[in-house]
């Protein structure tokens, strides 16, 4: 078994470790994904709460033959991320290779890890599910949802200006401050750079022949662009635009699409000829306002199979900002 395997990661609450010369105490669980586990931690001297992501691939989902490749990508992104600074990106405080468990007093945790700011609140996925439970019967076109969309576009534009492809844009990776659950302006931050690719998953999972009751972290596959699933080394920033399109579709329709098959259905509908209003009716989207029709025209363009046909992030950001300004001007 690979030494970094999930089953061998012994990160437990109460353990003391050091990252970038700061001493921390490991606290409770935040969540688990296909390639890592996320825990809270507290700085011993200041009491600051942070989030720690350990690279700990789960062999149930990730092919063990891909572990070393995933490690290289995790290391590359971990070393690059602390240099990024944008209000809509989760701030990475430190990255540690943790070779031979050198960062831990106990020396029993050998997994590399990233120290990130901790966002007290919820994920966009949780917010979408809450909106859905409220029984919205039409497009959720509000100041709140538009503000979230603009923030995501700004974060991606910043990354793309640095020629960085995020690779894992999805609602579960968008973090919202607790204000997002009320009517106050929310702090919106995109986090958790993608280090997985389609080929990392076990063949039975990527082909859809394995049914797993709790597929933690496998939501990534639903948001992957077509080129990312077949040519992961050749992806450009337009691959992120596909993922952003799925994310915004879910945000503005208040529904989390159950599987990649539903994404494919939307792609096919988008590629059909005819006016955008017909396509939207075919997708059972109600858009009584002209602004909403324009909004979905932009979003559905992101579903195009060919990356050449998708909008660039700068164009999308500008369009959403214009819409947001018009909404704010309304009574």
Alpha helices in 162-253 (DSSP H): 203-206, 219-223, 226-230, 237-253
Alpha carbon 122 to chain centroid, angstroms: 13
Residues with Cβ within 8 Å of 230's Cβ and at least 6 positions away in sequence, in order, are 198
Is 200 marked active-site? no
Count of C-beta atoms within a 10 Å radius of residue 295 = 22
C-alpha separations of 104 from 27, 36, 47, 107, 188 in Å: 14, 18, 18, 5, 32
**How far is it, in rounded angstroms, from Cα 44 to Cα 275?**
60
Query: Among residues 58, 168, 192, 240, which one is catalytic?
Result: 168
Could you give the C-alpha distances from 23 to 18, 26, 91, 105, in angstroms and in order? 4, 10, 18, 10
* Residues labelled as active-site residues: 168
């Amino acid at each position: 078994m690979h030494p970094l395997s999930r089953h061998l990661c012994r990160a437990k609450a109460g353990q003391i470790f050091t990252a970038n010369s700061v001493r921390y105490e490991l606290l409770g669980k935040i969540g688990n994904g296909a390639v890592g586990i996320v825990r809270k931690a507290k700085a011993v001297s200041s009491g600051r709460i942070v989030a720690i992501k350990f690279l700990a691939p789960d062999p149930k989902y990730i092919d063990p033959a891909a572990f070393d490749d995933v490690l290289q990508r995790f290391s590359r992104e971990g070393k690059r991320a602390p240099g990024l600074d944008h209000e809509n990106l989760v701030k990475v405080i430190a990255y540690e290779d943790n070779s031979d468990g050198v960062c831990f007093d106990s020396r029993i945790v050998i997994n590399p890890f990233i120290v990130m700011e901790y966002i007290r609140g919820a994920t966009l996925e949780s917010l979408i599910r809450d909106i859905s439970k409220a029984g919205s019967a039409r497009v959720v076109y509000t100041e709140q949802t538009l503000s979230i969309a603009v923030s995501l576009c700004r974060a991606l534009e910043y990354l793309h200006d640095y020629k960085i492809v995020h690779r894992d844009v999805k609602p579960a990776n968008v973090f919202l401050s607790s204000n997002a659950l009320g009517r106050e302006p929310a702090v919106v931050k995109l986090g958790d750079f993608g280090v997985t690719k389609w080929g990392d998953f076990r063949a039975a999972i990527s082909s859809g022949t394995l049914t797993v009751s709790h597929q933690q972290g496998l939501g990534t596959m639903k948001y992957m662009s077509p080129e990312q699933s077949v040519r992961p080394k050749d992806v450009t920033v337009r691959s992120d635009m596909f993922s952003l399109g799925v994310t915004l579709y879910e945000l503005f329709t208040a529904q989390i699409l159950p599987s990649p098959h539903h994404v494919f259905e939307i792609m096919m509908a988008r590629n059909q000829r005819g006016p955008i209003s017909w396509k939207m009716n075919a997708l059972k989207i109600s858009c009584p306002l002209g602004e909403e029709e324009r909004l979905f025209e932009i979003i559905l363009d992101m579903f195009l199979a060919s990356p050449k046909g998708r909008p660039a992030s700068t164009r999308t950001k500008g369009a959403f900002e214009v819409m947001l300004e018009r909404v704010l001007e309304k009574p």
